[in-house]
Structure 1
Amino acid sequence: MSNPKPEPGWGALLSGANAVRSLALAGGVALHAINVYIATTILPSVVTDIGGLDYYAWNTTLFVAASILGSALSSKLLLHAGPRNAYAISAVAFAIGTAICGFAPSMPVMLAGRFVQGFGGGFLLSLSYAMIRLVFAEALWSRAMALVSGMWGVATLVGPAIGGVFAEFGVWRAAFWSLVPLAVLFGVLAATVLPRQMGDRDGAAALPLSQLVLLIAAVLVVSIGSVSANISRNFAGAAGALTLTLLLIAVERRATDRLLPDGAFQLSATLGSLYAVMSLLAVTVTSSEVFVPLFLQVLHAQSPLAAGYLAALMAAGWTVGSITSSSLGSKGVSRAVLVSPVLGVTGMSMLAVLMPVQTGGDWLVLALICVALFSIGFGVGLAWPHLLTRVLQVAPRDQQALASASITTVQLFATALGAALAGMIANLAGLAEPGGTAGTANAARWLFAAFAICPLLCLWIIARRSPMRPARQTQPAE
Structure 2
Amino acid sequence: MAESIAVRVDWRALWASGDLFRFCFVSCGILLHATNETMIATIMPAMVGDISGVELVSWSLALYELGAISAGAAAGRLVSYVPLRTNMAVAALLYAAGALTCAASPSMPVFLLGRVVEGLGGGALVSLAFVSVERLFERRIWPQLFAIISGIWGVAAFAGPMLGALAAQYLSWRWAFGLFSVGGFAMAAASLIVLAGTAAKVEPRAAASSPRFPFLPLACLAVAVTLIASAGVSIEVVRSSILLLLGLVGLVLFFTLDSRSPEARLFPSGLFDWRSEVGTGMTVIAAFSIATCSFAIYGPLILTSLHGISVLTTGYIIAAESISWSVLSIVVASAPPHRERAIIVTGAFMITAGVAGFAYSVPAGSIPLILACAMLQGGGFGIAYPFVTRIIVSDAPEGERTIASSAVPTMQRIGYAVGAALAGIIANASGFSEGLSGATAAGVARWLFVAFVPLGMLGCLAAVRSSTKI
Pairwise TM-score range, normalised by the shorter structure:
0.7 to 0.9
Instruction: Name the structure 1 match of 2:337.
Output: 330
Letter matched to residue 461 of structure 2: W
Kindly indicate whether residue 242 of structure 2 is the aligned counterpart of residue 221 of structure 1: no
TM norm structure 1 = 0.78
1:60-459 correspondence runs (5 A):
60-81=61-82, 86-102=87-103, 112-129=113-130, 135=137, 137=140, 140=144, 143=147, 146-147=150-151, 149-161=153-165, 163-164=167-168, 167-168=171-172, 171=175, 174-181=178-185, 183-184=187-188, 187=191, 196=201, 204-263=210-269, 265-267=271-273, 268-357=275-364, 365-388=366-389, 391=392, 393=394, 395=396, 398=399, 402-403=403-404, 405-432=406-433, 437=438, 440-459=441-460
User: Are the structure 2 counterparts of residues 132 and 277 from structure 1 closer, same or farther at C-alpha, using a change threshold of 3 Å?
Assistant: farther
TM norm structure 2 = 0.79
Whether contact under 8 Å (1:219, 1:417) holds in the other structure is yes
Q: Provide the C-alpha distance between the structure 2 equivalents of 1:39 and 1:223, rounded to a whole number of angstroms.
A: 18
Q: Provide the C-alpha distance between the structure 2 equivalents of 1:463 and 1:414, rounded to a whole number of angstroms.
A: 20
Deviation at 1:92, TM superposition (A): 4.0
SS in 2 for 1:226: coil
Whether contact under 8 Å (2:62, 2:420) holds in the other structure is no
Deviation at 1:322, TM superposition (A): 3.1
Letter matched to residue 409 of structure 1: T
User: Are the structure 2 counterparts of residues 54 and 330 from structure 1 closer, same or farther at C-alpha, using a change threshold of 3 Å?
Assistant: closer
SS in 2 for 1:355: helix
Q: 1:27-65 deviations in whole A, cap 9, x for unaligned?
A: 322211222345555567778888989977655554333
Deviation at 1:240, TM superposition (A): 1.7
Deviation at 1:237, TM superposition (A): 3.1
Whether contact under 8 Å (1:13, 1:144) holds in the other structure is no
Q: 1:97-143 deviations in whole A, cap 9, x for unaligned?
A: 43455566887765554333211111123344566677564655884
Whether contact under 8 Å (1:211, 1:259) holds in the other structure is no
User: Are the structure 2 counterparts of residues 145 and 395 from structure 1 closer, same or farther at C-alpha, using a change threshold of 3 Å?
Assistant: farther
Q: Provide the aligned C-alpha RMSD in A.
A: 4.4
User: Are the structure 2 counterparts of residues 47 and 381 from structure 1 closer, same or farther at C-alpha, using a change threshold of 3 Å?
Assistant: closer
Whether contact under 8 Å (2:94, 2:117) holds in the other structure is yes
Q: Provide the C-alpha distance between the structure 2 equivalents of 1:102 and 1:439, rounded to a whole number of angstroms.
A: 27
Whether contact under 8 Å (2:278, 2:395) holds in the other structure is yes
Deviation at 1:408, TM superposition (A): 3.8
Whether contact under 8 Å (2:35, 2:160) holds in the other structure is yes
Q: Provide the C-alpha distance between the structure 1 equivalents of 2:342 and 2:170, rounded to a whole number of angstroms.
A: 44
Counting aligned pairs with the same residue, the percent is 25
Whether contact under 8 Å (1:91, 1:183) holds in the other structure is yes
Deviation at 1:355, TM superposition (A): 2.3
SS in 1 for 2:419: helix
Unaligned runs of 5+ in 2: none
SS in 1 for 2:266: coil
Q: Provide the C-alpha distance between the structure 2 equivalents of 1:440 and 1:229, rounded to a whole number of angstroms.
A: 16
Letter matched to residue 315 of structure 2: G
Q: Provide the C-alpha distance between the structure 2 equivalents of 1:329 and 1:13, rounded to a whole number of angstroms.
A: 30
Letter matched to residue 92 of structure 2: A
Report how many aligned residue pairs link the two structures: 461
SS in 2 for 1:262: coil
Letter matched to residue 164 of structure 2: P
User: Are the structure 2 counterparts of residues 3 and 395 from structure 1 closer, same or farther at C-alpha, using a change threshold of 3 Å?
Assistant: same
Q: Provide the C-alpha distance between the structure 2 equivalents of 1:456 and 1:172, rounded to a whole number of angstroms.
A: 37
Whether contact under 8 Å (2:32, 2:180) holds in the other structure is no
Whether contact under 8 Å (1:129, 1:404) holds in the other structure is no
